[in-house]
Structure 1
């Protein structure tokens, strides 16, 4: 089983990338959050890997950190949540947002996610309610080390989701703004994000 891949980025697509490891290209599916913060094509990358083996295929799923991989593993244990939908959820919500949404049964957080209806959302809340608190204690945002910045980023994305904006686009815009200015306040971050999303 493959648990980690380190190599060069050969190409990046909408829902996956190809990592060149010693001349062998591995197709790795990722959340849009992970794909948006990858290094450039031709540069080195290291991803944690979840390997799924079936009779007719071997699928690789990549994550920048352990927290996202753990939530992926937890989500696919819920009946009705396959690997593709789990990545869709993690594309819209950061791991800490998934945890907090499950802890407080925030259905609004899942409204924008295609494939997650009210019944499935209830099933996720019920089956993973004991795991929500386990992950909220150490929230992480990819490429950002400051915990205060992590909280501001999650709050800004949540606000944009509530306003009806797409989760993956919101995360990309917010992440880009924070990368340029990690001292930005929440209100400033939301205003700048709305300006970018309106373009």
Structure 2
């Protein structure tokens, strides 16, 4: 099984690229975000690969990071009706951080932005992955750093108080931290606990 390709970009198509590795060209189907990050033909590239082997074909899917590949697997293995095409569409539209936050905050509309992903599929993605999103959050803007600060006891008092308040309302600490991180982005670092709780609850509203 192929897990990674390191070589030179030989060709870039609408939904794939060809990577030359030692004179052998490998076709890898990729999310649009991955393709747009390529620097052009003849440039060096590293892709993390998910290999699908079937009776009639072998197909490679390529991603910029191992985390993107894990989300590709997660979407297909845990959400009924989601195959490679839909998973690629989601990862083409949303970064892993945006996807993790959308699931944690139950933002069905955000997930439904992906081409071919209607409201029902988006609802299934949010529902089936709601308990898995924190573990796959990656470098969600501000969220990972916030969780580290909370774990170390170094988070500002208003932030810690807001997370505790949301947790006391029944939300998991991970989801509470995601909501407060989103609230911080809107309110700024100087916001008090009351403001963060109010905005956090707004983020968590169905």
Gaps of 5+ in 2: 146-185, 187-206
Name the CA shift for 1:137/1:111 in 2 (closer, same or farther; >3 Å): closer
Counterpart in the other structure of 1:22: 22
Counterpart in the other structure of 1:76: 76
Counterpart in the other structure of 1:53: 53
Which consecutive aligned stretches of 4+ in structure 1 deviate over 6 angstroms post-superposition? none
1:106 aligns with 2:90: no
Name the CA shift for 1:113/1:137 in 2 (closer, same or farther; >3 Å): closer
For each residue in 1:93-125, what CA deviation from the matched residue of structure 2 results, as whole angstroms up to 9, or x when unmatched? 000111111111101202322221222112111
Counterpart in the other structure of 1:93: 94
Question: What secondary structure is seen at the aligned counterpart in 2 of 1:99?
Answer: helix
Name the CA shift for 1:59/1:104 in 2 (closer, same or farther; >3 Å): same
Q: Rg bigger for which structure? A: 2
Question: What secondary structure is seen at the aligned counterpart in 1 of 2:40?
Answer: coil
Displacement after TM superposition at 1:61 (Å): 0.6
Question: What secondary structure is seen at the aligned counterpart in 2 of 1:41?
Answer: coil
For each residue in 1:61-97, what CA deviation from the matched residue of structure 2 results, as whole angstroms up to 9, or x when unmatched? 1111111111111011211111111111001000011
Displacement after TM superposition at 1:56 (Å): 0.6
Counterpart in the other structure of 2:136: 135
**1: CA distance, partners of 2:120 / 2:107:** 13
Is the CA contact 2:92–2:114 (under 8 Å) kept in the aligned structure 1?
no
**2: CA distance, partners of 1:16 / 1:84:** 12
**1: CA distance, partners of 2:93 / 2:16:** 16
Gaps of 5+ in 1: 141-146, 148-185, 187-199
Displacement after TM superposition at 1:136 (Å): 2.5
**2: CA distance, partners of 1:20 / 1:137:** 29
Counterpart in the other structure of 1:9: 9
Question: What secondary structure is seen at the aligned counterpart in 1 of 2:130?
Answer: helix
**2: CA distance, partners of 1:111 / 1:118:** 6
Counterparts of residues 143-158 of structure 1 (less than 5 Å): none
